[in-house]
Structure 1
Amino acid sequence: MKQKNNSTWVSWNENLKYNYKTKYTITTEEELQEVIAKNDKIRFFGSKQSSADIAAGTDALIDMTAYNKIVSYDYNKKTITVQSGLILGELLEAIEAVGWCIPCLPDINTITIGGALATGTHGTSGKLLAEYMIGCNLVLADGTIQTVTAEDDLIDAVRVSLGMLGVMSTTTFQCEPAYTLHIKEGPESDDVWLPKIKSRLKKHDFLRILWLPHTDKGYVITGDKINSDTEVVENLGPKYLKHRRTASKILYKYTHIFPWLTAIANKLLYKGFFSSKKEHKGTLYQATVTKSRGSTLELAEWTIALDKFPQVFAELKEELNNWSNKSFVHIPMDVRFVYQDKSWLSYAYGHDTVTMGCVSRNAATADTYEAFKSVEKIFIKHGGRPHWGKRFTAKDAELTQIYPKWKYFKELRRELDPTNKFLNPYLSQLVNEKETANVKKVIA
């Protein structure tokens, strides 16, 4: 176990900074237990890519990234057990190598397994990654281990918990046989793709829509399972498409000063990068868009029941097209779909869900990005739920209204962590608990 003292923790986009007294880098479950047991307050982190302020803010921190081994495979049951500091991309490569997949494709593969589970990471046209977790070892506040299996009622609380119930040590995932997708992509007008959502979800195995504000267009991506030897005439579009991020960086450079420039930039980016059709095939991971972040961003994402989405979308579009405000959104706004589950803090608890992302390409100026506020206001009005790992301002009062199990989760949290060991200032506000830690946020 390595130890570093008196330094500064900095998030991936440098928007969050905290001084700490001690940082532990652990490699074994025993070290994880020891560190948790001997500290009064502690948080833990992986690749630091959350926009929400959940990973630091205490005197003691645990760096989980060296706790990253594959523990075991069960080839008969198609399960894999891993340490929670393993990077998601490495997990996907490991299971694909033995002919398996987890049919959940998050947008980013450079996050740790523990972080992905804790914040409810999801893909599209499936369920949260956490729903494929069938067991875990949870290190509790006193350093003891509680083994949770799919048969335990506790698993519905543990699957998505923001690390407030304990620290996930090892996790076991249920995998499925790998498959090949035939992917088709192309632009459609809003009045075409919006009414087709439900029929497409029934027809296709994969559906994702990149909405492009100020263009009245969406970029629709569908995927259908095919035999791996089926021939597909590949069309990857013009070669310059790979330069979209560079073009976005240039076009959005001054939009924090002149927000209206965003509308012009969006139209140019649509014509240059979202107006052509593409077609190709590959495994779930090859054929779709799991990737690392090409640049630092600031992100928010909200979810709403599938049946409510058309109304929410209409209000959102009207708001974002209103030139009298400053709610101009950098494209694309990512629209994905998650099927209902029973995890207490899941976005899809109790209903099929549409998720909608909101991105600022200028991470350093995100505090003045009016679209975050406008999008949150509309989704909250209709009972929408925030992505736990991204930016939002809702606190305990709002969360009580939109998460049916929020009250029960808080009661369980107090039972498992009676001294609030796993709370930092941000999480204390979320659950409406008094914060006793004296760690101060660094003013950037």
Structure 2
Amino acid sequence: MKQEKSGVWQSWNENISYKYKSLYKITSEDELQQIIKKSEKIRFFGTKQSSADIASGTETLVDITTYNKILSYNDSERTITVQSGLILGDLLEAIEAKGWCIPCLPDINTITIGGALATGTHGTSGKLLCEYMTECSLVLADGTVKKINEEDELTDAVRVSLGVLGVMSEITFKCESLYTLHIKEGPEDDSEWLPKIKERLKQHDFLRILWLPHTDKGYVITGDKIDSNTEIIEDLGPKYLKHRRKASKILYKYTHIFPWITAIANKLLYRGFFSATKEHKGSLYQATVTKSRGSTLELAEWTIGLDTFPKVFEELKTEINKWSNKSFIHIPMDIRFVYKDKSWLSYAYGKDTVTMGCVSRNAATADTYEAFKSIENIFLKYGGKPHWGKRFVAKDAELSKIYYKWQDFKLLRKKLDPTNKFLNPYLTKLFNEKTNN
């Protein structure tokens, strides 16, 4: 165990920073227990890629990325057990080498397993990543370890917990057999892709739509399971497509000063980078997961019931196309689909859900990005839920109306952490707790 004294913690996009008194790098569950037991206030961080202020802000911090081993495989059960600081990409490469997969992956592979679970990370056309967790060890506020399996009454509360019930140490995932997807991509008018969502969810194994605000277009990505030996004529589009991020950075450079430039930039980006069709094949991980961010961003994401989404989409589109406001949105808004589950703080608790991401390419000026406010206001109006790891303003009063198990979760949190050891200033406000505890 290594300890650093006094320093400044900073998020990956440099938008959040805090001073700390002690920072520990751990390699074992015993070390994790010791630090938690002796600390009055403590938080944990991985690759610092959350846009929500949940990872630091306490005098004691633990860097979980050094707690990153693959502990065991069970071939007959097709499970893998890992330490919570393991990077998602390392987990996915390990299980692919075994001929396995987890059939629901997020857009990025550089986050830690523990952070991904705590914030409800999800893929598309499947469930949250946490739904594939079958067992975990949870280090509680008093430093003891509680083993939790699928039959445990706490499982549905622990799967998505923001790290306030305890700290996951060892985690077991149930995997499935590796499969190959035939991916097709291409642009469609909003009037074409929007009415086809339910039909396509039944027809395809994978569906994702990159909506292009201010263009009346969406970029539709479908995936169908095929035999791995099936030949596909691969078409990855023009070589210049790899420069989309660079072009976006240039075109959006002054949009925080002149928001209306966004509408023009989006039309240019559509013509240059989203007007071609593409076709390829690969595993879910190979074919759909981004292997690097490329640049710092600021992100928000909201979810809404599948049946309600068309109405919310039309209202959002109308709102952001009004030149009387400044809610011009950078390309793309990522639309994905999550099937219902039973996890208390899941976005998909009890209903099939659509998620809609909102990105600011200028992370440093995200506080003036009006789109974040507009999307939050509209989604909250219809009972939408925010992504726990991304930017939002809603607190206890709003969250208690949209999460059916919110009060139950708060009572459990208080029972497991009576001194609020795992709360930082942001989480204290989120749960409407007293600051003097």
TM-score band w.r.t. shorter chain: over 0.9
Q: What is the letter of the counterpart of residue 12 of structure 1?
A: W
Q: Tell me if the contact between 1:105 and 1:290 (Cα under 8 Å) persists in the aligned partners.
A: no
* Contact 2:71–2:83 under 8 Å retained in 1: yes
The 8 Å contact of residues 141 and 417 in structure 2, kept in 1 or not, is answered as yes
What SS class does the counterpart of residue 313 from structure 1 fall into?
helix
Q: How high is the TM-score relative to the length of structure 2?
A: 0.99
Q: Is 1:286 matched with 2:318?
A: no
Match of 2:69 in 1: 69
Q: What SS does the corresponding residue of 1:103 show, helix, strand or coil?
A: coil
Shift in Å at residue 302 of structure 1?
Answer: 0.1
Aligned to 1:307, the other structure's residue is in SS state coil
Kindly indicate whether the alpha-carbon contact (under 8 Å) linking 2:107 and 2:288 is maintained by their aligned counterparts in 1: no
After superposition, residues 3-402 of structure 1 pair within 5 angstroms as 3-402=3-402
| Deviations 1:144-199 (CA, angstroms, capped at 9, x unpaired) | 00000011120100000000000000100000000000000000000000000000
Q: Distance in 1 between matches of 2:175 and 2:348?
A: 21
How far 1:220 sits from its partner (Å)?
0.1
Q: Distance in 2 between matches of 1:329 and 1:238?
A: 25
- The amino acid across from 2:416 in the alignment is L
Aligned with 1:165: secondary structure?
coil
Normalising by structure 1, what TM-score?
0.98
SS at match of 1:258: coil
Kindly indicate whether the alpha-carbon contact (under 8 Å) linking 2:182 and 2:224 is maintained by their aligned counterparts in 1. yes
Amino acid at match of 2:165: L
Question: Any idea what the Cα deviations from partners look like across 1:345-373, whole Å, max 9, x if unmatched?
Answer: 00000100000000000000000000000
CA distance in structure 2 between the partners assigned to 1:163 and 1:286 by the alignment: 30
Q: Deviations over 1:46-66 (max 9, x none)?
A: 000000000000000011000
Tell me by how many angstroms 1:292 deviates: 2.1
Matches of 1:222 and 1:435, distance apart in 2: 48
3-state SS in 2 of match to 1:243: helix
Aligned amino acid, residue 33 of structure 1: Q
Whether contact under 8 Å (1:424, 1:435) holds in the other structure is no
SS of residue matched to 1:151: coil
Distance in 1 (CA, whole Å) between partners of 2:435 and 2:327 is: 34
Given that residues 396 and 430 in structure 1 are in contact (C-alpha distance below 8 angstroms), is that contact kept between their aligned partners in structure 2?
Answer: yes
- Partners of 1:276 and 1:200 lie apart in 2 by 20
Paired with 2:289 and 2:162, the residues of 1 have a C-alpha distance of 25
How much has 1:436 moved relative to structure 2? Answer: 3.4
8 Å contact 1:104–1:122 — kept in the other structure?
A: yes
Measured in 2, the distance between the counterparts of 1:359 and 1:128 equals 21
Distance between the aligned counterparts of 2:108 and 2:13, measured in 1? 15
What SS is found at the alignment partner of 2:250?
Answer: helix
Deviation at 1:276, TM superposition (A): 0.2
Using the alignment, how far apart are the partners of 1:128 and 1:307 within structure 2? 19
Q: Structure 1 CA distance, aligned partners of 2:337 and 2:236?
A: 24
Tell me if the contact between 1:42 and 1:422 (Cα under 8 Å) persists in the aligned partners.
yes
CA positional deviation for 1:293: 1.0
**Which amino acid letter does the alignment assign opposite residue 58 of structure 2?**
T
Number of corresponding residues: 437
Distance in 2 (CA, whole Å) between partners of 1:287 and 1:90 is 16
C-alpha separation in 2, matches of 1:295 and 1:323: 29
* Range with greater deviation from structure 2 (285-294 or 209-218): 285-294
Question: How high is the sequence identity, in percent, across the aligned residues?
Answer: 77
Cα distance in 1, alignment partners of residues 304 and 342 from structure 2: 16
Question: Which structure 1 residue ranges, 5 or more long, are not aligned?
Answer: 438-444
The CA distance in 1 between the partners of 2:219 and 2:230, in whole Å, is: 25
The whole-number CA distance in structure 2 between the counterparts of 1:152 and 1:7 is 40
Name the CA distance, whole Å, in 2 between partners of 1:364 and 1:24: 28
SS in 2 for 1:312: helix
Rounded Cα–Cα distance in structure 2 between residues aligned with 1:209 and 1:291: 19
Task: Report how far residue 286 of structure 1 moved.
Answer: 1.1
Classify the secondary structure of the residue corresponding to 1:334: strand
Distance in 2, Cα, partners of 1:289 & 1:111: 12
Deviations 1:178-231 (A, max 9, x none): 000000000000000000000000000000000001100000000000000001
